[in-house]
Structure formats: C-alpha cells, structure tokens
Chain A
Amino acid sequence: MAEYIFEVFRFDPDADSKPRFDIFRVPPFKKGLTVLEALFYVQEKLDGSLAFRSSCREGACGSCAMHINGKYRLSCETQVKDLFSDKVVVQPLGHLRVLRDLVVDMEPFFAKYKYIMPFLMPGSPPPERERPQTVGDQMKVLPSVDCILCACCHASCTVTGTDPEYLGPAALLWADRFVRDSRDDALDERLRLVDQLHGIWRCHTIFSCQEVCPKDLDPTGAIADLKRRALRRKLLGQ
C-alpha cells in the first residue's frame, strides 16, 4: 500500500506562540508497524526535533500514552493497520501541560497518586515469614495492581478537565487497590483522603476511564467501591 499520513501535534512553549500540526509521510516499512515505530521513523529520518517519550515498547511501562485517531492509547501497542485509516492524527495527553510536542508535564498526575498514600499500611509488625493471604483475598487486588500509571484515564476524564484538583481515576483506583488488600489496615485513613470535595463524589460515572484503559481496568468500578465503603462507614459505622 501507499504511505500513511501522520498529522502530529507540535508545540514548543519557548519558541512557538501557538501549537500546529505537522504532516509526515510514513511508509509501511515493516509488518505490524506500530504508531511508536512510525514516530521513531519521523524522528530518525524526517524531523529530529519531534519529542515523545518511550521505554519498553511493549505496553508495560506507561511512557508512551497519547491521543491517536480519537482515542487515548499506548502508541507502542497500537498497530497502524488496526486504526483502519491512512491518516493518523497524534496529539499529546489531555489535561496536562504540554512541555514539548507529545511530552506533557506528568507531575500533577503523580502528585495525585502520591497524595492517596500509595503504599501498604498494615496494622501489625511484620511476621518472620510472609503475611498469609488466601488465594481469594489476593485475587481481590487484581486486576487493579496492573495499572501502569500511563494517564490515559486522567486525560480522558471530563471531570479532571473541569476540576484540576479532582484526584482522578488513576489515584482513586490505587486507593481502592490498597483498601481491597487484606493485609492493609488503614481503611479510615484511606477513606478520609478520598471522601472529600475533590475526591470520589466528583466521579460522574461516565466510564471514559474504563473505556480507554489499555489494561482493561475499571477505575469507575473502583471509585464506586470506595463510595460504597464510605457510605457504609458513615451511615452504618462499618
């Protein structure tokens, strides 16, 4: 087949007054060509100034999330042919400041994650060996622990867009992951952190996070779980 037309968002806040789209022609030089490989082709052969992040190239590290033909996805695991279009439009993650081209400022995103105290808080000192956990209890933290903090959910969430302080789907998913862990003993503290003005109640169950998650996780469900627990605690004291 002929070439793909890549329309790529470009912006250098130090030099440009406003963003623009550049057009690049990328031949299908390899079977199973991914969007990330196409961007490398652009960087190495056509325009070395193009900036984008990457690391694992296998959908594991969360570096390469971006907006591709209408949806937030990991560019490394998106095959161009699966877009069913000769034209590929690539933009940076939404709701995060653009630092250059497809590179956005991830700090506010990580700040939210850090805010919910994303670490195990057990109630007792550790035993000599492992803390026992049944197979069933271990399964309760799955699949939430698969989150790679790529921020696709954050970028797609309409609430994050209107309330920049909203904790957002990723941080809340992590809060729920620890609440669900039978080894954790900090339910009160965890609920206190998320049961607030910019917390769980902001979620309007639009499901966009769940729809875009490259790991098929369900932040909306996790938030609903936290809401349920918060209500039970408030009303029934459980």
Chain B
Amino acid sequence: MKYHDVIVVGGGLAGLRAAIEVNMHNLKAAVLSKVYPIRSHSIAAQGGINAPLGNHPRGGYDSWERHAFDTVKGSDYLADQDAVVTMIKDASERIYEMEHWGCPFSRNPEGKIAQRPFGGAGFPRTCFAADKTGHMLLHTLYEQAVKYEQAAERGELKIYNEWLITRLVVEDGVCRGVIALELATGNLEAFKADAVVFATGGCGRLYSNSTNALINTGMGMAVPYWAGIPLKDMEFVQFHPTTLYGSNILMTEGARGEGGYLTNNKGERFLANYPDSRKAMEVAPRDIVARSMTTEILEGRGFEDAYLHLDLRHLGEEKIATRLPGIRDICRKFLGIDPVDEAIPVQPGQHYTMGGIDCNKDGASRVKGFYAAGEAACVSVHGANRLGGNSLLETIVFGKIAGEHASNYIAAKADLGAGDKALADALAQEESKLEKLLGSDGPEDPSVLKEEMQNLMRDNVGIFRTKEGLSEAVPKIRELRERYKNIRLRHTGRSYNYDLMWNIELGGSLDVAEVVIAGALAREESRGSHFRRDFTKRDDDKFLKHTLAYYTPEEPKLEYSDVSLGYWEPKERKY
C-alpha cells in the first residue's frame, strides 16, 4: 500500500496547483493522473484568464467589485457570492504568481501583461498568451512541479502518470485514500492518504458534440458520487457558440473578442436581430449567442442546416497571425481552409461543466479530508453560466485553496495514517469487480452504448430542453445503465488495456449523465445555460437554489441547498 500525506487526483491546472501548494506546506504530495499532466484537457484552453489587473487602456477603472459583479450576473445569480468574491480578490495575485513562475503572457506596449475583451465582461480583463493560454499556464505549472519533484528543499512531490482512479475510500465520514488502476500493468493498488483532492476536470464527453478532450468522461465525478458525496448543479452545461463544424474543436471566444463576425447564409450579422444579443453582438455571453445561433440554424438560415459562419477576414492577415495563430492552424489542419481567405464554418457545442463535486469555498466537501477543485468541483463560482476566462482562474485560485486547506486539515488531524483496513477491503472489492469486468461476456457492445448516451444527451439535454425530451431521457438512460451490466469487453489482457479503461469510465459516464438529466427535468425554469422551452423565465421563488444529487443504486436522489447571496440582489440578467 502506498502512502502520501495528500493525494491529488488530476494533473491539470487545478491538480498541479493544489499539489504545489501541499508541497509548499512541506507535506508529501502525490499527483495521480490517467494521462501525463501536460496531456490534460487544460492544455487546450485558448482564449485567456480573467483578472482585474487594469492593464488595458480601457480597463483602468476595473476593480474586483466589477469583476465579481460581472461573474455573479453572468451566473444568472446562482453563484455563491462569497465564493466569487474570494476568487476575484485572489485573481491578480495568482496571475502575477504564474508570471513570476515564467508563464509567457502576451504583453502590452508598456511591457505589462496584455488584456483583451471577452464575453460578458464590463472591461477588457482577459489576460492571454497568444491563443494558447491553457498550454502556457499548464506548462508553467508542470515546470514548477518538475522543479520540486527533484528538489530537497520542500516536501515530496511525486507524479504517478497513467493511473486511473476507480474508487474513493471513505470510512465513517473520513476520507482514507483511493484505489487506482495502473494502466501499464493493469494492477490495482490502494493509495493511503490523510487528505485527497479531486481535480479531475469536466464531463464534456457525455455529449457527442463536445469541445472537450476525449478523456473528459466524467469518471472523476462519478467516483466521489459513488462514495456518497453529492454532485451539485449538474444540469448546468455550457454550450460554446463557436465550435468547428465536423469535429467540434473550439474556435476561441477570443476570435470574437478580437472583432470576428458571426453571419448567416444571407451574410447578415444576425445577432442584431435578437433582443438579448443586439447590444453586445458577438461578445454577448455564450449561452445567449449559442441560443441565437441554434434558432438561426433551426429556422433555416444556416448552411447545410448545420452551421453558420465565423468571419475573420476583415481582421487582416497580420492580426490573425499574431493574435489567433492557433485558430488559423486548426482551420488549416482540420478543414484545409485559411481564415484569412475564408469564413470558418461553426456550430454550438458542449463546452463546460458548471456543476460538479459539491464543495465549499475552501474546496472542502462534507467528507472530512476530501477536497475538490477546478472544473470537477462546484464551489459554486459559475452558477448557471460561466464567463469565458473565469474557469482557468478558478483552477489556479481554488487549486491553491484546496491544497492549503488540505494541508491545514492534516496539521490538525489526530489519526494520521489510519484506514488500512478500509483500504484493504476496498481494494479487494475493486479486484473482484475488475475480474468480473474482464471476464464479462454479455451481448452488449459498449461503443454502441456510448454513442447512444452521447446522442441522447445532445438531442434531449442540449441547448433547448423540454419536459417531453427530458422525460424521455430518464428511462432511456436507465436502460443504458442496465445494458451496461451486460457488456462484452474485447480484450482481457492487463497491460495497457485501453478497451478496459474506456469501458470502466463508461460506467461512470452513464451515472453522471443520469444526474444531469434528473437535475434538468426537476428544474422547471430557465436560468443561464439551462433553457427550458416550457418554462422560459427564471423563477427565483422556486429555484434560486443549488441542486444536490446523491447516489443510490436505483436513481439519483435530489435535494436542494441555498445560494449564498449578500453582495448583490438578484436582478434580471440583461446585456
């Protein structure tokens, strides 16, 4: 049995930042990740990261209050306002820290970190590193992790590459560690820890039209859910307006921030025709733009009834080459077009998971010693809709906070190193489950189940939702969960058995998908990203509250909890 003070699951931005924090507290931290850290989904973030630095000529009057207000308004008042304030007050310091650690941010003529406008923000406050901000940030944190992996001056920092966590071990309300599968050998192992931080990212691949990495299956949310920790606000799924037609690769919001146009098959900038987006046009918040686009396509003003145009041509080659080189590269490689000469075919697609593992603004959950951070967590700072550039911020702010609180918890913990028996029992159970799965010989082809789930989520739990569609999805997902019990694996070897890995994760995806559906059906209102055609208004009397879903073997059990207000009164969200 391996033993570390703190185990961080996930090597993305949130996970690495948490591990570095634990390491700074002179504790032994281990990062477990199913891929090498720099292969995490954070690498793909393009547009930027928000902080009220006030470096832009038009940003001089920006302040934490304004940034926090934009965030709360953007969230359609579902965000916990104290948590938002915590995040924004810490934002500038975290950005400067990343800069001090070497992040190659783009600069303005004064030599300061450059900032640009982004959707839903009152001031240009999005810091960026060309259009590869996630890549630059993740490499910077990985570099710091590499530095302290070898250095003796602080606590231990160890990275376990290519381990899949299958189980969280909780004993009498106290977290004891995790069980993980080593992909190289196919062996399961128990990892004892006095605290565990989950930073496992979002679950975009519940949907067929997602911008997310293939590895974002939702397994990292299913594991704590199975261990009794509720998932919060899972019905809030952000759809990004501009994803590349065909592959749903993201075309950053920065492309619109830099002045790109959205046009329909008549060549009109159609956002002017919708009251919600008339003023802000292309930089209106994502949910609003995505809905206008979907309506446009449904009403026949799209191309091939499937996509619209993102037109950058008027920006000119130089601006496209210096500010949006990643976009240009993707267009060339995946479509064979150059945005300098041609408009880009785009359609809305699943993009971000606002919901997640229920935790508070310390990253702490209701299980002692169990923390969550980043996209996997729901603090909640994004509420019903996340503003572009705020989730990268969330990863480094709450990664640090979770690492800090986990470390403090350990400092005060009495029974350090306890839990051997619980871990051994859990390991034995996981062993027999794995044996059973490897020997499974049912009639169901798991790749078909996955496809059916992803299409169901896209069609029935997408941008526009109705009671009929959602009620239909409930028995359907249950049927898929049943059929999952009768799957057949195609390969029974142990070493690098990806068939096994993907299909263990499919079990997690199905259960998390069920939570999204249940939450969406129960929430009879429209708020932020959650749009019900049958309840088109926000209903604060009934639904100004967080959904909490608890695991039971039959179906998720829903409860609700209060939203923390106190700074700003809920108002109608208008742009």
Contacts and interface: CB of A to CB of B under 8 A. Distances in A.
Interface stretch (B144-152, B286-294, B548-556): B144-152
Interface of B: 35-36, 38-41, 43-44, 95-96, 99-102, 104-113, 129-130, 132, 135-136, 139, 143-144, 146-147, 149-150, 184, 213-215, 246-247, 249-250, 329-330, 333-335, 447, 489-491, 493, 495-499
A101 B146 CA distance: 29
Contacts of A145: 104, 129, 136, 139
A9 to B, nearest CB: 14
Interface centre among A44, A61, A103, A184 (most CB of B within 10 A): A61
Given A119-B102, A119-B143, A12 B41 contact: no
Interface stretch (A18-26, A83-91, A132-140): A132-140
Contacts of B95: 130
Nearest to A136: B107
B39 A119 contact: no
A181 B335 CA distance: 34
B330 A58 contact: yes
Given A32-B246, A48-B490, A145-B139, A55 B104 contact: no
Nearest to A63: B39
Contact of B495 (A14, A59, A133): A14
Contacts of A142: 104, 130
A28 to B, nearest CB: 14
Contacts of B146: 113-114, 118-119
Interface centre among B108, B132, B214, B491 (most CB of A within 10 A): B214
B489 A55 contact: no
A202 interface: no
A181 B102 contact: yes
A60 B44 contact: yes
A62 B246 contact: no
Interface in A111-128: 113-114, 117-120, 122, 126, 128
Interface in A52-77: 52-63, 77
Given A52-B498, A110-B36, 17 more contacts: A32-B335, A43-B490, A56-B43, A59-B329, A61-B40, A114-B146, A118-B146, A119-B101, A119-B102, A119-B146, A132-B110, A135-B107, A135-B109, A138-B105, A145-B139, A146-B132, A148-B43
Nearest to B97: A126
Contacts of B499: 43, 48-49
B44 A134 contact: no
Contacts of B106: 138
A141 B209 CA distance: 35
Contacts of B35: 53, 55, 61, 63
Main secondary structure of the interface of A (DSSP, over half): loop
A45 interface: yes
A58 B39 contact: no
A165 interface: no
A210 B491 CA distance: 38
A11 B489 CA distance: 20
Q: Chain A contact residues (Cβ within 8 angstroms of B): what range?
A: 35 or more
A36 B461 CA distance: 28
Nearest to A128: B96
Contacts of B147: 117, 119
B319 to A, nearest CB: 14
B206 to A, nearest CB: 16
A43 to B, nearest CB: 6
Contacts of A99: 184, 495-496
Interface string A1-34: 0000000000010110000000000000001100
Contact of B39 (A61, A77, A184): A61
A95 to B, nearest CB: 18
28 contacts: A12-B495, A32-B246, A47-B491, A48-B489, A48-B491, A49-B490, A51-B495, A56-B213, A58-B44, A59-B330, A60-B135, A61-B40, A61-B44, A63-B36, A99-B496, A103-B496, A114-B146, A118-B146, A126-B96, A129-B96, A131-B99, A133-B107, A135-B107, A138-B106, A145-B104, A145-B139, A149-B38, A181-B104
A12 B497 CA distance: 11
Nearest to A178: B102
A101 to B, nearest CB: 8
Nearest to A114: B146
Contact of B41 (A44, A45, A51, A55): A55
B145 to A, nearest CB: 9
A100 interface: yes
B493 A12 contact: yes
Nearest to B150: A114
B100 A133 contact: no
Contacts of B213: 55-57, 61
A96 B447 CA distance: 31
Contacts of A132: 110-112
A219 B249 CA distance: 28
Nearest to A146: B132
B107 A51 contact: no
Nearest to A105: B184
A31 B215 CA distance: 23
A106 interface: yes
A183 interface: yes
Contacts of B110: 132
